[in-house]
């Protein structure tokens, strides 16, 4: 989807940026009919054919009608269960599971005559009544879209669209009106913690890197999202790449770095395409490069594609990969803030963390801090997957309960089955049973029940799930993705997997359960990096809450759900 950068003069000052924004806002007609089509994740469900059909049908209209209609190809709208989705402005009508054959009716009835088509509208699961207004669809109604503010609303390939909606205003404020320490203090007041999994305070990481005197310094955006069922960072990189770039400009200025890298897995070709285009646009506008907006600050960004090694989500392994080495972690200290890329001070933040930065600097730390719970402030983006009616990408305030996340936004369990557990935190996370459905989702509360926030993957399991099989699946993933550098992870996860396969195959012994717990403790406590340290979590949490299923496999010599015998037990079959 190539899109040329419009011819424009370089933005040399903050005044130039504001003047361009004013021109764009003045030229924008809010009453024009705009059909917003998801053209990132929805492509897999045929969105490209829907967009082409819309363009073809609109081209048949008389010129007087045609000039007042625009098809906007956007990033992810979030509601993946309804893909392909479109929204029509200014009437704010939402349609899901649209097919090319529906387009003529959409054009005639909704675009030209502003009337809804009930058969294409979302149906209230309780009443069966159609809901045509996007804001009234429960999936959207309960959200607080901050990081996802532009997804599904603007063309991610258009820098003008980003600037018109307020883009780069926060960067301009940071570069012209704030000091680096002032920015870091603002981040501290906001309470922002890293959204990549560990939840380390963002301001502290920046402050540590800022204090280092060695030059050059580097900033890295970690876009190596590899958890099964997770696509939060992918959605942001594909649907709002300039938000990531703007966050990196502010971060680079704060820590004193003039060079940044976005490390994104090659399996995300649309993200790579959109980020590369956005960086090129920002350079042409003078928002990257030398003397940005007349501030005296120089900063540029390079996209680096990773080969898809899960371990490269770990900071030091990612750095090794960027340096052209095999992606394996190293002992810490020294931490990357002291000695990172090529031995220089390096700050690493994930995509969602950096996309939060323009929101905080633009709106103020107090506004951001007003959302959340306890030491978990702001919002969190989650990918809802598994046995849910409403799968997709959501953003909610920290502190939301699991029940609200799964039943209000997620729409409950498919086919009316009973909820059994939710697996949170990816292969490094844990399984949480129904007794904790009213648990508030924060870093601290999840840790207490044996799970982690992780990057935000949420996989919901129904009553038919076998928890031994679930533990085996995620452990098989971690064992296959182990880099092999340290013995506890390389050998320990393999031994644990062998025990699980023995139990799943009906050949286990009752003492195997205690052996799993004992081995898990060694792997957790002695592994070099977070992959090994957290790999036992799915096993430990399922034993903690579903021990009876392990006992049933052992005593009855078979899976009570009839699942394990149908699944290949070897690691390679369970990869990814």
- Residues 346, 144: Cα–Cα separation, whole Å: 32
Work out whether strand 122-123 and strand 130-131 pair parallel, antiparallel, or are unpaired: antiparallel
The pLDDT value recorded for residue 572 is 40
How many whole angstroms separate alpha carbon 318 and alpha carbon 321? 5
pLDDT score at 2: 40
Q: What is the pTM of this model?
A: 0.94
Residue among 174, 182, 203, 146 nearest 372 (CA)? 146
What is the per-residue pLDDT for 196?
85
Strand order in 379-386's β-sheet? 392-397, 379-386, 457-462, 419-424, 430-433
Contact in structure between 424 and 458 (CB atoms under 8 Å): yes
If you ran DSSP here, which 8-state letter would residue 505 be given? T
Containing H/E element for 238? helix 232-239
Contact between 251 and 170 under an 8 Å Cβ cutoff? The reply is: no
Phi, psi of 115, rounded to the nearest 5 degrees: -105, 140
| Domains recognised in the chain with CATH numbers | 29-141 (3.40.30.10), 159-368 (3.40.50.11540), 373-462 (3.10.20.600), 467-574 (1.20.1440.230)
Compute the 3-state secondary structure of the chain and give helix, strand, coil in percent, each to the nearest 5: 50, 15, 35
Q: Count Cα neighbours of 77 within 13 Å in the Cβ-side half-sphere.
A: 30
Q: What residues have CB less than 8 Å from 269, skipping those under 6 apart?
A: none
Residue numbers in the chain where pLDDT is lower than 70: 1-8, 566-576
pLDDT in tens, 101-155: 999 999 999 999 999 999 999 998 878 899 999 999 999 998 999 999 999 999 9
SS3 69: strand
Residue 356 · residue 195 · CB < 8 Å: yes
The residues that bridge with 86 in the sheet, in sequence order, are 37, 95
Burial of 163 (0-12, 13-18, 19+ CB in 10 A): buried
- Per the document, the length of the chain is 576
Whole-angstrom CA distances from 127 to 123, 340, 541 are 8, 56, 37
Q: Please give the C-alpha separations between residue 160 and each of 7, 155, 280, 473, in angstroms, as whole numbers.
A: 11, 9, 13, 45
For residues 99 and 54, the answer to whether their CB atoms sit within 8 Å is: no
The predicted pLDDT at position 566 comes to 59
SS (H, E, C) 399-435: CCEHHHHHHHHCCCEHHHCCEEEEEECHHHCEEEEHH
Q: What letter does residue 146 receive in the DSSP assignment?
A: S
In the prediction, which pLDDT does 36 show? 98
Residues 483, 455: Cα–Cα separation, whole Å: 20
Q: Residue 197's pLDDT is what?
A: 76
Our measurement of the distance from residue 90's CA atom to the centroid of its chain's CA atoms, rounded to an integer in Å, reads 28
pLDDT score recorded for residue 1: 39
C-alpha separations of 169 from 11, 86, 250, 357, 363 in Å = 13, 29, 11, 12, 10
Torsion of CA 158, 163, 166, 172, to 10 degrees: 130
Q: Answer for the pair 405, 441: CB distance below 8 angstroms, yes or no.
A: yes
């Amino acid at each position: 989807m190539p899109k040329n950068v419009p011819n424009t003069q370089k933005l040399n000052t903050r005044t130039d940026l504001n003047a361009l924004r004013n021109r764009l806002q003045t030229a924008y007609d809010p009453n024009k009919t705009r059909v917003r089509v998801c053209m990132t994740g929805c492509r897999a469900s045929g969105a490209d054919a829907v967009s082409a059909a819309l363009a073809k049908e609109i081209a048949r209209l008389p010129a007087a009608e045609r000039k007042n209609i625009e098809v906007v190809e956007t990033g992810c709208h979030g509601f993946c269960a309804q893909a392909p989705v479109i929204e029509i402005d200014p009437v704010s009508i939402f349609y899901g599971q649209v097919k090319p054959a529906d387009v003529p009716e959409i054009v005639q009835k909704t675009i030209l005559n502003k009337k809804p088509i009930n058969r294409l509208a979302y149906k209230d699961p309780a009443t069966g009544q159609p809901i045509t207004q996007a804001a009234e669809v429960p999936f959207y109604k309960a959200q607080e879209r901050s990081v996802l503010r532009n997804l599904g609303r603007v063309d991610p390939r258009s820098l003008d669209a980003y600037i018109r909606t307020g883009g780069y205003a926060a960067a301009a404020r940071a570069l012209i009106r704030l000091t680096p320490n002032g920015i870091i203090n603002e981040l501290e007041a906001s309470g922002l913690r890293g959204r990549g999994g560990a939840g380390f305070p963002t301001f502290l990481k920046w402050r540590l890197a800022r204090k280092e005197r060695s030059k050059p310094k580097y900033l890295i955006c970690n876009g190596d999202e590899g958890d099964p069922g997770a696509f939060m960072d992918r959605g942001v990189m594909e649907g709002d790449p300039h938000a990531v770039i703007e966050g990196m400009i502010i971060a680079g200025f704060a820590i004193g770095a003039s060079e940044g890298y976005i490390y994104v897995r090659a399996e995300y070709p649309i993200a790579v395409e959109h980020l590369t285009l956005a960086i090129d646009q920002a350079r042409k506008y003078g928002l990257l490069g030398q003397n940005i907006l007349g501030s005296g600050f120089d900063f540029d960004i390079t996209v680096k594609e990773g080969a898809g090694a899960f371990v490269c989500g770990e900071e030091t392994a990612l750095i090794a990969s960027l340096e052209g080495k095999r992606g394996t972690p190293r002992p810490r200290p020294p931490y990357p803030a002291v000695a990172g890329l090529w031995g220089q001070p390096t700050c690493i933040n994930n995509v969602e963390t950096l996309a939060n930065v323009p929101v905080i600097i633009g709106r103020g730390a107090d506004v951001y801090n007003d959302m959340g719970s306890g030491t978990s402030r702001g919002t969190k983006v989650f990918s809802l997957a598994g046995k849910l009616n409403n799968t997709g990408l959501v953003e909610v305030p920290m502190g939301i309960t699991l029940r609200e996340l799964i039943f209000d936004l997620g729409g409950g369990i498919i086919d009316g089955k009973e909820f059994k557990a939710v697996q949170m935190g990816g292969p490094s996370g844990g399984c949480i049973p129904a007794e904790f459905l009213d648990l508030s989702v924060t870093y601290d509360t999840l840790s207490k029940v044996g799970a982690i926030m992780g990057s935000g993957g949420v996989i919901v399991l129904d009553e038919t799930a076998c928890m031994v099989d679930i533990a085996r699946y995620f452990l098989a993933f971690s064992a296959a993705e182990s880099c092999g550098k340290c013995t506890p992870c390389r050998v320990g996860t393999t031994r644990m997997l062998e025990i699980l396969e023995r139990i799943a195959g009906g050949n286990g012994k009752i003492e195997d359960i205690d052996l799993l717990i004992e081995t898990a403790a060694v792997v957790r406590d002695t592994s070099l990096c977070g992959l090994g340290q957290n790999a036992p979590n799915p096993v430990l949490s399922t034993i903690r809450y579903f021990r009876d299923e392990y006992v049933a496999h052992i005593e009855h010599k078979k899976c009570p759900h009839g699942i394990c015998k149908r699944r290949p037990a070897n690691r390679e079959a369970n990869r990814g």
